[in-house]
């Protein structure tokens, strides 16, 4: 937790591999986890963290030494700010997650992803139209490069907003959105509370745009099922096109 907070820009911009001989993933994902561990799990969920078994490395000796012999008085507090008593789901309207679609109205599908790294940031969008049986012509693919620096989570929100605007421009009335970001999905659906003021504004923008659809549903999917949008986002964030050059 201390590393994630002190090195937050690096955690947001790169995949992180944690080498450990302790079952951290199981500890953080236990249903019966304490309130403190649950808060830590939520805070760490915004990063792309992979846990692997720790090999025998000499550098680990120094980390073990620092961990075991740091005075108690010098320990860094990692308590999170407690969430308010109000249920965050009361803040958002039911239109954020409408369970049933009208079978008589075409349902559009949107896959989106954001990326941010040392080269730049961008968004990937795949909009699947219901008006044709040809897979080649039914998919609208967009790679958007941002001309400003932004964090990974903000890039995810910008990708979602761009996808919603594109779907509205194309005339979609029923839309199902798929994202591999647990934080974004749970903040929009109200399962997580967006305590940061910037994130709260993004949630409000998404909320206002969803009101333009007669039916809207946002679903969390594994990253493997969102590879198309992820690839577009990575291309957009890694390539700085020449003026007039288009990506995707």
Per DSSP, the residues of 84-148 read PSS-GGGTS-GGGG-----TTS-EEEEEEEEEE-SS-EEEEEEEE-SS-S-HHHHEEEEEEEESS
CA distance 65 to 158: 43
Higher pLDDT among residues 2 and 230, named by residue: 230
Per-residue confidence (pLDDT) for residue 148, from 0 to 100? 80
Residues 127 and 69 in one domain: no
Look at residue 244 and tell me if it is in a domain: no
Higher pLDDT among residues 82 and 139, named by residue: 139
Query: The domain that contains 229 carries what CATH number?
Result: 3.30.420.10
Our count of domains for the chain comes to 2
Residues 32 and 93 in one domain: no
Per-residue confidence (pLDDT) for residue 39, from 0 to 100? 79
* Eight-state DSSP code of residue 7: T
Looking at 40, 74, 108, the residue that finishes a domain is: 74
Per-residue confidence (pLDDT) for residue 96, from 0 to 100? 45
Residues 107 and 195 in one domain: yes
Overall size of the chain counted in residues: 248
Residues 70 and 124 in one domain: no
CA distance 145 to 87: 36
Q: Of 143, 127, 178, which is closest to residue 248 (Cα–Cα)? A: 143
Q: Tell me the pLDDT tens digit for each residue of 181-240.
A: 988 888 888 888 777 888 889 999 998 899 889 899 999 999 889 999 999 998 888 866
Residues 61 and 113 in one domain: no
Look at residue 95 and tell me if it is in a domain: yes
Cα-Cα end-to-end distance for the chain: 38
Per-residue confidence (pLDDT) for residue 244, from 0 to 100? 46
Per-residue confidence (pLDDT) for residue 247, from 0 to 100? 45
Range of the domain at 27: 2-74
* Eight-state DSSP code of residue 23: -
Residues 122 and 214 in one domain: yes
The H or E element spanning position 221 is none
Mean pLDDT calculated for residue range 237-244: 62
Q: Tell me the pLDDT tens digit for each residue of 91-111.
A: 333 334 445 778 888 899 999
Assign 26 a pLDDT band (cuts: 50, 70, 90). Answer: confident
Per-residue confidence (pLDDT) for residue 93, from 0 to 100? 36
Higher pLDDT among residues 64 and 140, named by residue: 140
Residues 54 and 6 in one domain: yes
CA distances from 204 to 92, 96, 209, 216, 242 (A): 9, 11, 9, 15, 34
pTM of the model: 0.56
Residues 30 and 111 in one domain: no
Q: Residue 162: is its pLDDT beyond 90?
A: yes
Look at residue 243 and tell me if it is in a domain: no
Q: Which of 146-160, 168-182, 184-198 bottoms out in mean pLDDT, i.e. has the lowest?
A: 184-198
Residues 58 and 164 in one domain: no
Residues 70 and 167 in one domain: no
Looking at 74, 99, 120, the residue that finishes a domain is: 74
Looking at 16, 47, 74, the residue that finishes a domain is: 74
Instruction: Tell me whether residue 112 is exposed, middle or buried, using C-beta atoms within 10 angstroms of its C-beta: 0 to 12, 13 to 18, 19 or more.
Output: buried
Q: Tell me the pLDDT tens digit for each residue of 38-81.
A: 778 888 888 888 888 766 555 555 566 556 555 544 433 333 33
Residues 54 and 146 in one domain: no
């Amino acid at each position: 937790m201390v590393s994630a907070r002190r090195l937050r820009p690096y955690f947001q911009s790169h995949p992180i591999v944690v080498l450990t001989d302790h079952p951290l993933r199981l500890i953080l994902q236990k249903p019966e986890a304490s309130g403190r561990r649950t808060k830590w799990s939520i805070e760490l969920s915004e990063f792309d963290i992979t846990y692997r078994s720790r090999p025998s490395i000499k550098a680990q000796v120094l980390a073990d030494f620092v961990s075991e012999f740091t005075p108690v008085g010098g320990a860094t507090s990692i308590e999170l700010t407690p969430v308010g008593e109000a249920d965050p789901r009361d803040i958002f309207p039911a239109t954020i997650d409408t369970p049933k679609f009208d079978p008589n109205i075409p349902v559009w599908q949107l896959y989106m992803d954001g990326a941010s790294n040392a080269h730049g940031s961008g968004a990937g969008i795949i909009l699947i139209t219901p008006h044709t049986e040809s897979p080649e012509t039914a998919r609208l693919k967009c790679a958007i490069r941002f001309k400003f620096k932004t964090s990974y989570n903000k890039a995810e929100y910008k990708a979602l907003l761009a996808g919603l605007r594109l779907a509205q421009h194309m005339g979609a009335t029923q839309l199902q959105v798929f994202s591999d970001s647990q934080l974004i999905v749970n903040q929009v659906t109200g399962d997580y509370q967006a305590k940061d003021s910037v994130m709260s504004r993004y949630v409000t923008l998404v909320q206002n745009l969803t009101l333009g659809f007669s039916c809207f549903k946002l679903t969390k999917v594994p990253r493997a099922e969102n590879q198309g949008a992820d690839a577009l986002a990575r291309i957009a964030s890694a390539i700085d096109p020449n003026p007039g050059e288009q990506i995707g």
